[in-house]
């Protein structure tokens, strides 16, 4: 059994992590940390049975892995706690600064830590596949990335769409600032060879859809990922926690690609 603690257990992601971990016979939720709902039972908060794990403001001892879905200040606290207790750490929180990244790098000298802005296994595989396809096909194939999200999403393009573009750029020597074109509008916007087009659709309640298209004269290859529930991120984080908690896992900074064996 792998013991885990959820940092942000009262949040949207935290509640799903508690519920999904409770269904998993390899995992035992032993800690539920949050600033709010302190004293409440984490299982009841998550809408499942009582787990006899009260929400507490901090972690008292070592666990196999802490999973953090909070805010950057919560992540910083989790890093400190995990280093102090020798617990592995999975970080899903977004909006981290360069200084936070440095803290993670420093912590990786002492504990196994994994940080990923998108924990979906399918999305992380898509990054690797898109990079491989772009490299193999070359500039004869036009690359266009399209993404669709719900009407409430503030930013565009999505971090995941940028992640696809970054993976392609890393594999082909392109530059995300120079070679990516965001949308097209006007009279003189004909596609240039080697460009990566990026397009964002905002509609209804779409959870998240991403397609990388590779087209030349006569054929088109499309790689599409569709997320239908935010649970994919929680499931990916739980899988990462199990992987990090393996007894032979050395202190280091890991990526979802490592979990997937890519």
* Longest CA pairwise span in the chain (Å): 64
Residues 13 and 234: beta-carbon distance below 8 Å: yes
Nearer to ligand NAD, 90 or 134 (CB): 90
Residues 130 and 164: beta-carbon distance below 8 Å: yes
Nearer to ligand NAD, 57 or 138 (CB): 57
Q: How far is CA 133 from the centre of its chain?
A: 22
150 sits near ligand NAD (criterion: CB under 6 A): no
Least Cβ distance, residue 171 to ligand NAD (angstroms): 22
224 sits near ligand NAD (criterion: CB under 6 A): no
Nearer to ligand NAD, 73 or 189 (CB): 73
Q: Which residues contact 105 (CB under 8 A, 6 or more apart)?
A: 253
What CA–CA distance (Å, rounded) separates 242 from 84?
A: 20
Q: How far is CA 232 from the centre of its chain?
A: 10
Nearer to ligand NAD, 188 or 205 (CB): 205
Residues 245 and 65: beta-carbon distance below 8 Å: yes
Q: What is the per-residue burial (b if ≥16 Cβ within 10 Å, else e) of 192-217? A: eeebbbbbbeeeeebebbbbbbbeee
Active site residue 149: yes
Mask for 170-209, x = binds ligand NAD (CB under 6 A): ----------------------------------------
Q: Which stretch binds ligand NAD (CB under 6 A): 5-13, 43-51, 141-149, 206-214?
A: 5-13
71 sits near ligand NAD (criterion: CB under 6 A): yes
Of residues 22, 24, 30, 35, which one binds ligand NAD by CB under 6 A? Answer: 35
What CA–CA distance (Å, rounded) separates 131 from 70?
A: 30
> Which residues contribute to the site for ligand NAD (CB under 6 A)?
7-8, 10-14, 33-36, 69-71, 73-74, 77, 92-95, 116-119, 230, 233
Active site residues: 149, 153
């Amino acid at each position: 059994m792998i013991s885990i603690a959820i940092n942000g257990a009262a949040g949207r992601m935290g509640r799903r992590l508690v519920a999904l971990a409770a269904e998993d016979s390899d995992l035992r939720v032993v800690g539920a940390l949050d600033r709010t709902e302190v004293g409440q039972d984490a299982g009841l908060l998550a809408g499942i049975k009582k787990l006899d794990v009260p929400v507490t403001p901090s972690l008292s001892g070592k666990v196999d892995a802490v999973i953090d879905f909070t805010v950057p200040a919560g992540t910083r606290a989790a890093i400190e706690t995990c280093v102090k207790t020798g617990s592995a750490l999975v970080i899903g929180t977004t909006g981290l600064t360069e200084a936070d990244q440095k803290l993670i790098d420093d912590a990786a000298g002492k504990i196994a830590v994994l940080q990923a802005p998108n924990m979906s296994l399918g999305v992380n595989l898509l990054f690797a596949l898109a990079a491989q396809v772009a490299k193999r096909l070359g500039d004869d194939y036009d690359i266009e990335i399209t993404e669709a999200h719900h009407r409430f999403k503030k930013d565009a393009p999505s971090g995941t769409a940028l992640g696809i573009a970054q993976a392609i750029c890393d594999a082909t020597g392109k530059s995300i600032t120079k070679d990516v074109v965001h949308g097209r509008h006007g009279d003189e916007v004909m596609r240039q060879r080697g460009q990566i087009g990026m397009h964002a659709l905002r509609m209804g309640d779409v959870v998240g859809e991403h397609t990388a298209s590779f087209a030349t004269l006569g054929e088109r290859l499309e790689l599409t990922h569709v997320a239908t529930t935010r649970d994919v991120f929680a499931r990916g984080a739980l899988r990462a926690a199990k992987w990090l908690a393996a007894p032979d896992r050395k202190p280091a900074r890991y990526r979802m690609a490592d979990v997937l064996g890519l």
